[in-house]
Structure 1
Amino acid sequence: MSLFLCVDCGGSKTNAVICDAKGNIVGRALGGPSNASYLSVKDFTSAIRMTVSDALKTTTSPPSIEPVPLPPVGDTPFAAAWFGVSGLDSPMAVAEVIPILSNLLGIPAGPRLSVANDTILLAAPVRLHPDIKHAVGVICGTGSIAVSFEETETGFNELGRVGGWGWILGDEGGGFHVGREAIRQMVAETDAASVTGAPPPESVMTKLILGRFGLDSVLDILGAVHVPDPNPSVINPQHLPQFTMLREKRLSSLAPLVFTAAFEHDDQLALRVLKTTSSIFAAQIATILGDKDEKRPKLVKAQDAVLSLGGSLVGIEAYRNLLLEALAAKGHVFRYVEFVDDAAATGAVGLASSFKGQ
């Protein structure tokens, strides 16, 4: 078989899609997280091995029930592979991962094995618009990052990037930021009420978050947020689920509650949270936008580019619109805006197309 594999490695899940030489999707699978900076080499490799193996099982009819061994026994089934890996941000990091993936798939390091940050998968929509050569790929899900690209004869050339520094240092606009900002807005209202004597305004978001932690008052939120990360070997099954989460997930898991309150209940506090996080993320994205000059030759003008969006949070149209409004307020209106809801599929089809006739 001559199969073409694209794997989108994210902080929440791994998405593997396999195409045949004609660009038909013949296999796919989802697996656990595979952010290269968060996981050990062993866990990173294991996540990819399991997901790609599961995807290979679906390429047969009927699907195989037996695991497909990786590295392959005998010849590799893959003609080429393209990996977009979250947390993979430097040439050194890429160089360290390539031998691992090369061995895992049986593909020699070289032009048939492409490995880069996961934003590269969002550059593909440039090819849908022949009147432009630039794309700004924005991922906003568990984490966030923005990267600008220029299409060349040999592929895509990265111009500038901002973000992708993880939940401790950044991830503006992403799930952790939304959860943290929600807690911050809740405690800010409680602080303000302490000097007025009046209770804070009613908020669906506040009720949902307190309910998640099993609390009756915002005054008790400190312990819930700051309780140490659990030791998996001594987790008490009677504890509420949120207390068995790592602290990062404890806050990022609040994002769906904020979205529910904002967009289903028109909760003003939740809307304020999302306007804040989207505005901060827009300001970050603006770092790589503008009219280029001698000092900043790699800036991209929004009016001459496609904004290609991916990730669970910008997959929600109302939040996506808040981000676009915040960018427009800063003078950045893109010629085209595309939401890529399946970057791995787009990448796999594009990869097969790029190898036609070879």
Structure 2
Amino acid sequence: MSLYLCVDCGGSKTSAVICDKSGNIVGRALGGPSNFSYLSLQDFRTAISLTISDALKTCTSPPSVDPVPLPPTGDTPFAAAWFGVSGIDSPSAIAEVTPTLSTLLGLPVGPRLAVANDTHLLAAPVRMHPDINHAVGIIGGTGGIAVSFRENDVGFDQLGRVGGWGWILGDEGGGFHVGREAVRQIVGETDAASVRAVPPQESVLTKRVLERFGLKNVLDILVAIHMPDPVATALTAETHPQFTLLREKRLSSLAPLVFKSAFEDADPLAIRVVQSTSRTFALQIATLLGDRDEHRPNLVKAQDAVVSFGGSLVGVEAYRKMILDALAELGHVFRYVEFVGDAAATGAKGLVASFATK
């Protein structure tokens, strides 16, 4: 077999898509989180190995029920592979993980095994627009990051990047940022009400967050958020499953509640949260944009580029529009806007196309 594999490794899930040499998708699978920053090399290998094996099982007709061994027992079925990995942010990180992936797939280190940050998968849409050669990939999922690219004869040159620093340092625009801002706004409302000696204004979002943690008092949220890992032994998964989450997940898992409250219920507090996070994210993205000069040769002019979004949060059109509107207020309007709902599939097909010309 001559199969082309693309794996999108994110903070919430791993997506693997396999194409044949004609660009047809012949296998796919979803697995658990595989952000390289949050896992040991062994745990990262386990997560992607299980997902790729499951994807290979779907390549047969009917699909196989038996596990597909990795590394391959004989010749590798893969002609090429492309890994877009969240948490891979430096040449040293790529050098650390590449030999493991090479062994896992039976592919030699070299041009047929590409490893990069997951934003690189979002550069592909620039090939849909022959009048431009610049792209800005924006991921807003569990975390947030933006990277700019210039197309070359064989692929893409990375120009600049901003964000993607992890939940402790930032991840603006992503689920952690939205969840953290929600708690900040909720507690801030309570603090402000204390000096007015009146109850804070009722909020659908506040009610949902308190229910999420099984609490009655807003200030008890602070204990719930800061409770260390692992959780206290008095709390069990059966009675308090919300506290069994790691601290980062306790906040990032609030994002769906915020979006529901803002975009379905028009809750004022929730709307303020998404306005704040989208503006902050836009200010960060704007670092990549503008007119190039001798001091900043890697800036990208928005009107000469495509912006390509990927991730669960920016998959919500209303939130994506908020980010674009905030960028427009800063003077950055992109010529084209794309949303890549399946980055692994886009990457796999792009991988086939790139090798078809070689």
Q: TM-score, normalised by structure 1?
A: 0.98
SS at match of 2:4: strand
SS at match of 1:167: coil
Given that 1:13 and 1:31 are in contact with CA atoms closer than 8 Å, whether structure 2 keeps it comes out as yes
**One-letter code aligned to 2:336:** Y
Question: Per-residue displacement from partner, 1:73-129 (whole Å, max 9, x unpaired)?
Answer: 000000000000000000011011110000000000001001000000000000000
Give the aligned partner of residue 228 of structure 1: 228
Give the aligned partner of residue 17 of structure 1: 17
Distance 1:88 1:136, change over 3 A: same
Alpha-carbon separation, structure 2, partners of 1:57 and 1:231: 37
C-alpha deviation, 1:179, in angstroms? 0.5
Given that 2:11 and 2:34 are in contact with CA atoms closer than 8 Å, whether structure 1 keeps it comes out as yes
Unaligned runs of 5+ in 2: none
Alpha-carbon separation, structure 1, partners of 2:277 and 2:124: 27
Alpha-carbon separation, structure 1, partners of 2:338 and 2:8: 18
Is the aligned partner of 1:324 residue 2:314? no
| Alignment of structure 1 residues 232-243 onto 2, 5 Å | 236-243=236-243
Larger CA deviation: 215-224 vs 58-67: 215-224
| Alignment of structure 1 residues 95-114 onto 2, 5 Å | 95-114=95-114
Larger CA deviation: 288-297 vs 228-237: 228-237
Alpha-carbon separation, structure 1, partners of 2:6 and 2:210: 41
Alpha-carbon separation, structure 1, partners of 2:184 and 2:220: 13
Give the aligned partner of residue 271 of structure 1: 271
| Alignment of structure 1 residues 1-358 onto 2, 5 Å | 1-230=1-230, 236-356=236-356, 358=358
SS at match of 2:194: helix
SS at match of 1:121: helix
C-alpha deviation, 1:235, in angstroms? 6.3
**One-letter code aligned to 1:249:** K
**One-letter code aligned to 1:263:** F
Alpha-carbon separation, structure 1, partners of 2:82 and 2:265: 41
Question: Per-residue displacement from partner, 1:56-79 (whole Å, max 9, x unpaired)?
Answer: 000000000000000000000000
Distance 1:20 1:277, change over 3 A: same
Alignment size in residue pairs: 358
Distance 1:157 1:233, change over 3 A: farther
**Deviant stretches of 4+, over 2 Å:** 230-239
**One-letter code aligned to 1:162:** V
Question: Per-residue displacement from partner, 1:178-210 (whole Å, max 9, x unpaired)?
Answer: 011001001111111111122111110000000
Taking only the aligned residue pairs, the percentage that are identical comes to 73
Question: Per-residue displacement from partner, 1:231-260 (whole Å, max 9, x unpaired)?
Answer: 599862343111111000001100100001
Distance 1:102 1:226, change over 3 A: same
Given that 2:235 and 2:243 are in contact with CA atoms closer than 8 Å, whether structure 1 keeps it comes out as no
Given that 2:154 and 2:354 are in contact with CA atoms closer than 8 Å, whether structure 1 keeps it comes out as no
C-alpha deviation, 1:219, in angstroms? 2.4
RMSD: 1.2
**One-letter code aligned to 2:226:** H
Given that 1:230 and 1:243 are in contact with CA atoms closer than 8 Å, whether structure 2 keeps it comes out as no
Distance 1:58 1:126, change over 3 A: same
Q: TM-score, normalised by structure 2?
A: 0.98
C-alpha deviation, 1:230, in angstroms? 2.2
**One-letter code aligned to 2:141:** G
Alpha-carbon separation, structure 2, partners of 1:342 and 1:238: 34
SS at match of 2:356: coil
Distance 1:233 1:80, change over 3 A: farther
